[in-house]
Amino acid sequence: AKSSAYHVRVALGCTNEENLDAIGASVEAARAAGKEAMVDCEHFFDGFKADPAYTLSCARAAYDAGARWVVLCDTNGGTQPAEVREIVGKVIASGIPGENLGIHAHDDTGQAVANSLAAVEAGVRQIQGTLNGIGERCGNANLITLVPTLMLKPAYADRFETGVSAVQLAGLVRLSRSFDELLNRAPHAQAPYVGASAFATKAGIHASALAKEPETYEHVPPETVGNRRRIMVSDQGGKANFIAELNRRGIEVARDDSRLDALIQTVKEREAEGYAYEGADASFELLARRMLGEVPAFFKVESFRCMVERRYDARGSVKTVSEAIVKVLVDGREIMSVAEGHGPVNALDIALRKDLGQYQAEIADLELVDYKVRILNGGTEAVTRVLIESHDGTGGRWSTVGVSDNIIDASFQALMDSIVFKLMKNRELAGLVAAE
């Protein structure tokens, strides 16, 4: 229901009184049908700031007609938390109880969650939101952020009951990522509570302290929302980072093991070349296991060639065709595969996975879900970093990286790591952490 005099005039084209009558009649009709009446007062906060008396009369019309919930909407998403708190207080003071009020916030200023919490603090008892904050324009209040805040922060947990159990809360990461999967989009790594980076650290001192006392750098235990702690390896990390990450992957290595020093030095050298292992867990695990001699020689790529041809088709239209030829050696047998694709990288991917002999059935459910390219320095001879994200039929998801001054070669490195990691994962030789 419109609760702004401006919108009543412009959008509905009726009088203020006609709008009030329509609100009351709608609530009465819903109740007569045995339904719980809930009225969303659109543009409530903007309307209140322009004409408090009329906007409040719209909310009263809904409440007086018997609405169970009168929801105050920040439809344009521009209201600030302090304004929400003040206006909600005035609505309650006018005689509409907080137990009958709800909040519907949009995220156009990045404050939908903050506005929802401000409304709760002021007295409302219903929050409208969406999974992962999906919604028109910039989105709605994110329930994936709101629910754990209400349950885990004492300011709210000591006062309110959400109806969500601790067991259900521990499934939050799975819920968020499953929803992203339905939308065919990559999960947001920096998402509060559920993002892959939400409980990650890579600075040496931070990681060392985190290993001793997790509370030093974690505002809540990650497992309460189904997430996990990540101590990331990079050229900023010390031995504590590396040992913690290797141990979590089931790789035991002593602090004074010379192979650990060699691994740290290799990571530093490769990151200086452009590799970024903090965003490619699978490639890091493979690098570590290779240096420890724990990666079987499943197959060997003898050579590959990519060609791009731009030509006219039978209709006289310009067409660009990419073709890749890959020769692999599997169990002493040379196999050559040829494939066309939408670009040289796609063609190379198809050809590489077209026939791997005895391993072909194992990679049938392997799918590349994201491909990112970053140019590390300028010019046409620039060094390129390629990040590939893959998943399989088990729901596992992992990332691999390749770096080269040739984008095809960088892509090939990342593709190879993805396939080898999949084969390792199938044998439970890798992926207990990286494939999540």
The SS3 assignment for 38 reads strand
Q: How many CB atoms lie within 10 A of CB 82?
A: 10
Q: Is residue 157 part of a domain?
A: no
Q: Is residue 431 part of a domain?
A: no
How high is the pLDDT of residue 292? Answer: 82
Q: CA-to-CA distance for 53 and 62, rounded, in angstroms?
A: 15
Q: CA-to-CA distance for 410 and 405, rounded, in angstroms?
A: 8
Same domain, 254 and 349: no
The SS3 assignment for 389 reads strand
Same domain, 99 and 210: no
Using alpha carbons, select from 38, 105, 46 the residue that is nearest to residue 77.
105
Same domain, 14 and 88: yes
Domain that holds residue 348: 299-355
Q: Is residue 112 part of a domain?
A: yes
Q: Which helix (H) or strand (E) holds 205?
A: helix 204-212
Q: Strands 397-404 and 367-375, how do they pair?
A: unpaired
- Residue 248's contacts (CB-CB under 8 Å, 6 or more residues apart) are 231, 432, 433
CATH number at 87 reads: 3.20.20.70
Same domain, 9 and 62: yes
CATH number at 343 reads: 3.30.160
Q: Is residue 14 part of a domain?
A: yes
How high is the pLDDT of residue 200? Answer: 83
Same domain, 216 and 101: no
The pair of structure tokens assigned to 341 is 């694709």
Phi, psi of 69, deg, nearest 5: -130, 130
Q: Is residue 217 part of a domain?
A: yes
Q: Which helix (H) or strand (E) holds 283?
A: helix 281-291
Picking from 355, 387, 402, the residue at the C-terminal end of a domain is 355
Same domain, 284 and 335: no
Mean pLDDT per 10-residue interval, the chain, length 436 residues: 95 95 97 97 97 98 98 98 98 97 98 98 98 97 98 97 96 92 84 92 59 75 91 64 81 87 89 84 92 87 94 88 95 94 92 92 91 78 88 89 94 96 87 54
Query: Taking the C-alpha atoms of 189, 195, 199 and 205 in order, what is their torsion angle to the nearest 10 degrees?
Result: 10
Using alpha carbons, select from 400, 411, 390 the residue that is nearest to residue 344.
411
Q: Can you list the alpha helix ranges (DSSP code H) found in 292-372?
A: 344-352
Answer whether 55's CB lies under 8 Å from 3's CB.
yes
Q: Is residue 180 part of a domain?
A: no
Phi, psi of 77, deg, nearest 5: 70, 20
Picking from 88, 107, 128, the residue at the C-terminal end of a domain is 128
28-79 confidence digits (pLDDT tens) = 999 999 999 999 999 999 999 999 999 999 999 999 999 999 999 999 999 9
How high is the pLDDT of residue 50? Answer: 96
Same domain, 270 and 333: no
Picking from 291, 318, 343, the residue at the C-terminal end of a domain is 291
Beta bridge partners of 323: 307, 340
Residues in the chain, total: 436
Q: CA-to-CA distance for 410 and 408, rounded, in angstroms?
A: 5
Using alpha carbons, select from 170, 216, 159, 167 the residue that is nearest to residue 193.
170
Same domain, 114 and 216: no
Same domain, 30 and 115: yes
Number of domains in the chain: 3
Same domain, 259 and 304: no
Q: CA-to-CA distance for 154 and 158, rounded, in angstroms?
A: 5
- Alpha-carbon dihedral sign for residues 24, 30, 32, 35: negative
The pair of structure tokens assigned to 311 is 């030509």
- Residue 247's contacts (CB-CB under 8 Å, 6 or more residues apart) are 253
Q: CA-to-CA distance for 102 and 47, rounded, in angstroms?
A: 17
Q: Is residue 223 part of a domain?
A: yes
Query: Taking the C-alpha atoms of 329, 333, 338 and 339 in order, what is their torsion angle to the nearest 10 degrees?
Result: -70
Same domain, 122 and 39: yes
Same domain, 211 and 243: yes
The pair of structure tokens assigned to 238 is 């010390």
The SS3 assignment for 336 reads strand
DSSP 249-261: TT----TT-HHHH
Q: Is residue 134 part of a domain?
A: no
